[in-house]
Structures are given as structure tokens and as C-alpha cells.
Structure 1
Amino acid sequence: MEMAAGERRKTGGRGWARKGLSGFGRLILTAYAALTLYPLYWLFISAFKTNEDFFRHPYALPHVWMKENMVRAWELGKMGRAMMNSGLVTVSAVILTLLLGILAGYVLSRFEFRLKKPVMGLFLIGMLIPIHSTLVPLFLMMKNIGLLDTYGALILPYTAFELPITVFLAIGFMASIPREIEEAAMIDGSGWWRIFGRIIFPLCTPIVATISILAFLRFWNDFSFALVFINSQSLKTLPLSLSLFSDGFGTDYGLTMGAMAIAVIPTIVIYLMMQERIMKGMVAGSIKG
């Protein structure tokens, strides 16, 4: 009886210890979430402040809610046109990246051919090249071929620099798809294109969502490529329109924060819509191999 009572006390002690660790872990995660979300909260409350209120009470709620900040930012920065330009460039580059990257990943993960290792080596080198070191040669190249100051001046470099990581993510994910599925489809008379379009690509939905959101964030927020390759006001993207609120003489922080709040809303909405698939895509390729 005494031994049984001792065992129960030990078991109960372990249970309380587990609950304590679980509660501590939740506390840490809650604190981390608060630290992560606070900059976003600060951005949105700052978007409704005057310059004076912004400097005097940077962390407090606005004394007077300046709803006009976002309206004026939208009008002065011509953000409607800039958002349309960013959307066109970003969506086009994402689609092109997915089309080329998923196809390349499928070929490299499923087929054996003589140049397979050199091709994968080229994609690996592409991941190691500092993007901004290519601005000058790309500028000269696009000037010579007449692509400068066009949508293509952004879409093509975005796609090229995003392809390496896209290909390796696709290869890792497709390694977890059983080859028996393709073999069964081939026995039924399906060709490689039909197998890819009807079977493989639908199974790749999680990694497609992951690649899409990562590429979207990079393309949507890019400033350096747009600054160097775009000159026309009608083609300026959202990051370029944000720079209009700051010059060498001063910055209107109320308008700047309002414009930044408008610019960040699409990324938040898209992430919230796709977050579950993104998480699945990030871990799916690690299950096998």
C-alpha cells in the first residue's frame, strides 16, 4: 500500500511538472507573439497621428485620430496606380516562377540524365549570388535590349532570382510523393505531361502556396530593382510611391505611416488566407529523406 501511494505521488508530481512546463511554454509563445505583433500595432496607431503627436507620444494611442492621413497618402502618393503596378508585376512574376520552378523541380526529382548534377549546381550557385551585386550589369543589359523602364525589367529579374529556391523547395517536396502513383498512371496509359498536370501538380498545392507567399513578399516589398530599372511615374511600384513622403528636408511621418499601413494590408490578408497551406508546405518535404 505504501509503495502504491508513493507511486501515485510520483506520478502526480510528474503531471504537475508537465503542466508547469506546458504553461511556461505557452507563456513564452504568447510573449513572442506579442513582440512580433507589436511593430504592426505601432504602425497602425502611428498612421492616425499628427507629426507632433507622433514625436511626443510615440507609443501611446493617438490623442486625435487623423483618419485623413490614409486618404491624403492615397491621393498624394498615387497609391492606387502604384498598387496596380505592384500587383501586376508581383502576380506575373509569381506565376512565371511557379510555372518554371515546379516543372524544373519535377524533372530534376524524377528523371536521371547526364547534365542533372551540373544543372543542379547552377541553381545552387544562383542561390549564392548577392542579388544587389547584379544591378549594374542588369541595368546595362536591359538598356541594350530595350527592356529598361518596362514591366519586364522587374518581372524577369524577380523570376530569375527566385527560381533557385523554388526549384530546391519543389525537389524536396516531390521526393515525398510515392513513385508508385506515377507508375500506376503510366500503366493506365497516361503520359508524363498528363501525370504532371493531373496528379503531381495537384499534390503540390502546399508547396505551391509556400513558394507563392515567399515570392509575393519579396516581389511586393522590393525597392532597389524598381528604383534602378523604373523611371516613368506611371510604372512606379508601391515601395517607390512610399519614398515620395520623405525627402532631404523632412518627413511627414503621419502620411508615411498611413501609406505604409495601406501597403502592408495586402500581404497580411494573403498570409492569413494561406497560412495553413504554407505551414504544410514548409514541413512536408522533410518527412521523407
Structure 2
Amino acid sequence: MLPTTNTRAAAADPRPQPWKKPLGLLLKLALFLYAAFTLYPLYWLIISAFKSNQDFFNRPFGLPAGWQFSNISRAWELGDMGRAMMNSTIVTIASVVLTVVLGTLAAYALSRFAFRASGLVKGLFLLGMLIPIHSTLVPLFIFMNKIGMLDTYWSLILPYTAFELSIAIFLNIAYMQSIPREVEEAAMIDGNGWWGVFGRIIFPLCLPVIATVTILAFLRFWNDFSFALVFINSQALKTLPLSLSLFSDGFGTDYALTMGAMFIAVIPTIVIYLIFQEQIMKGMVAGSVKG
């Protein structure tokens, strides 16, 4: 039986629902308040970076009475932040590249190849997510001291990569399982081997989740203080978090220079996030959409 004209009109013109508009406004207001609370610490850091010490205490939440742009240049010079930023960049980029390459390859093998101990191997990798990272500082220090690796870039790069591999493999496996196997079969029919399938098909398709892994790893490596403090002794190899500690001692803290240095340190993080934000959002939701 075909629907009548009145039935079609009722379906096309549903009854008004006056509660939807207020609910939408409340949702937008809630999102606005959440964004304001999230961005306020960044705003506070920026305005504090241009205050004098006296202004920092007298007007903690207000705009600077006089903008002290010299805080940035003084913090850069006194903290030797140019060298520290270079060291942090070398360590972070090397660790991120190793994490992405090894994590993607391991996830590809575990998600696409069936072998007897695959479940055990997955469990061992994921077990790394449960290990308290800082509880390994003493054993790692003793081990690196015996093999002569202390006070080198590798004393940071290798532990960073090892502890980040668990989350990288976990995210990549979840994403790769949503990719249809027919895509790989079609590529193999065209003459690609396993390496060709990975390099030409899987890796490009995984760029959203790789971007997510990249930003998570970058934030962890760039902001790490404890590993750098324990494993690095040379001033020439100090990273950015170590240079920030120079403005505070047992007798007091120069808040003007500290905030200026933190402002410098946070700029690369913001830039990296702005570059990868679209891919990060895709990586967060792609698995649920495809599955």
C-alpha cells in the first residue's frame, strides 16, 4: 500500500520540537566554557612571560603593567636555550622516527600475519603500557653505565622509543584491523610483495593514526625531565626541560625568566599540533567510522 499524500506531508514536515534549540545553545555554551578553561593556562603563560617579578605577584591574572620583552632574550641567553633546543630537537625527532617506523612495522606484522605466538607477542608489547616508567630509572642507569652509554643522545633516544612503542603498536593495530584485506590482495595481484604492500598501501592509509602517534610521542619526549636529569650530565647535551630548571634554585625562583623560557619551550609544541591537528582528529575517529 502506497503512502497517502497526508502521510508524506507529515513525514516531510514533522512537528516542531521547541526543546532542541535551547539544548543546542546549552551544548554550545558548555563547549565554549570547556575551550575557555582549556586555553586559559596558555593565555596565562603568555601574559606572565612578559611581566616583571613584581608585576607577576601584584597582578597574577591581569595584563602586564609594562610589557617586558627582554624576558625572552634574557632567558634565551642565560639558559643557553639555543643549544638546549637543538639537543631536544635531535633527541625528539630521532625518537619519534624510530617509534613510528618500528611501531608501524610491528603492528603490520601482528595485525596481518597469523602465527602461533602472535597473541603472546601482542600481550608482551601491551604489557609495556602497565610498567611505571620512572621505576626503571635506577636499573637503566646501572645498565647504561656498564655499557658506556650514559651522557649521550642514545641514552635518551633508546628508552624513549622503547617505552612509547607499546601505545604506538596498540593504536596502529586497532587502525590496521579496520583496513579491508581486499586492498592488499589487489595490490599483490598487481605484482607488489609484502614490502610493496606496506610501503605503497598500508603506510599511506595509516597516516592519520601515525600523526596521532607522532604528536603523543613528541609531547612526551619534548617535555621529559626525569630521564634527561638522570642520564645527561654534560652541559653541552642538556635538553630544554633541564635548561628551565636553571632559573630556580634552593633560595628562590626568577619567575619572569622562568615564564619567558617556558614560553619559548611551548612554541614548538603548539606549531606541531597545528600542523597535525586535522590528521590527529582523523586518527582518533577513523577506526570507529570504518569498523
TM tier relative to shorter chain: over 0.9
Q: Which residue of 1 aligns with 2:261?
A: 259
- TM value normalised by structure 1: 0.95
Q: Which residue of 2 aligns with 1:129?
A: 131
Q: CA deviation at 1:13?
A: 7.9
Q: CA deviation at 1:190?
A: 1.2
**Superposition RMSD on alpha carbons, in Å?**
1.6
The answer on whether the counterparts of 1:82 and 1:235 sit within 8 Å (CA) in structure 2 is yes
Q: Give SS of 1:286's match.
A: helix
Q: Which residue of 2 aligns with 1:269?
A: 271
User: Quick one: distance in 2 between partners of 1:33 and 1:13?
Assistant: 34
One-letter code of the match for 1:29?
L
Q: Which residue of 2 aligns with 1:203?
A: 205
User: Quick one: distance in 2 between partners of 1:216 and 1:158?
Assistant: 10
User: Quick one: distance in 2 between partners of 1:287 and 1:171?
Assistant: 16
User: Quick one: distance in 2 between partners of 1:83 and 1:229?
Assistant: 17
The partner residue of 1:237 within 213, 222, 239 is 239
The answer on whether the counterparts of 1:176 and 1:287 sit within 8 Å (CA) in structure 2 is no
Q: Which residue of 1 aligns with 2:106?
A: 104
Same amino acid, percent of matched pairs:
70
User: Quick one: distance in 2 between partners of 1:157 and 1:183?
Assistant: 37
One-letter code of the match for 1:159?
T
Q: CA deviation at 1:14?
A: 4.4
Number of equivalenced pairs:
282
Q: Which residue of 2 aligns with 1:69?
A: 71
User: Quick one: distance in 2 between partners of 1:70 and 1:248?
Assistant: 23
Q: CA deviation at 1:286?
A: 2.5
Q: Which residue of 1 aligns with 2:19?
A: 17
The answer on whether the counterparts of 1:100 and 1:163 sit within 8 Å (CA) in structure 2 is yes
Q: Which residue of 1 aligns with 2:3?
A: none
Indicate how the Cα distance of structure 1 residues 34 and 13 shifts in structure 2: closer, same or farther if over 3 A, else same. farther
Q: Which residue of 2 aligns with 1:138?
A: 140
- 2:40 pairs with 1:38: yes
Q: Give SS of 2:288's match.
A: coil
- 2:144 pairs with 1:152: no
The partner residue of 2:117 within 101, 115, 118 is 115
User: Quick one: distance in 2 between partners of 1:288 and 1:44?
Assistant: 40
- Which structure 1 segments of 5+ residues have no match? none
Q: Deviations over 1:245-272 (max 9, x none)?
A: 0000110100000000000011001101
Q: CA deviation at 1:124?
A: 1.7
Q: Deviations over 1:57-111 (max 9, x none)?
A: 1001000111100100000000000000000000000000001000000010001
The partner residue of 2:252 within 236, 250, 253 is 250
One-letter code of the match for 1:286?
S
User: Quick one: distance in 1 between partners of 2:191 and 2:40?
Assistant: 56
The answer on whether the counterparts of 1:73 and 1:258 sit within 8 Å (CA) in structure 2 is yes
* Misfit runs of 4+, over 4 Å: 11-14
Q: Give SS of 1:123's match.
A: helix
Q: Which residue of 2 aligns with 1:283?
A: 285
Q: Which moved more, 1:142-151 or 1:184-193?
A: 184-193
- TM value normalised by structure 2: 0.94
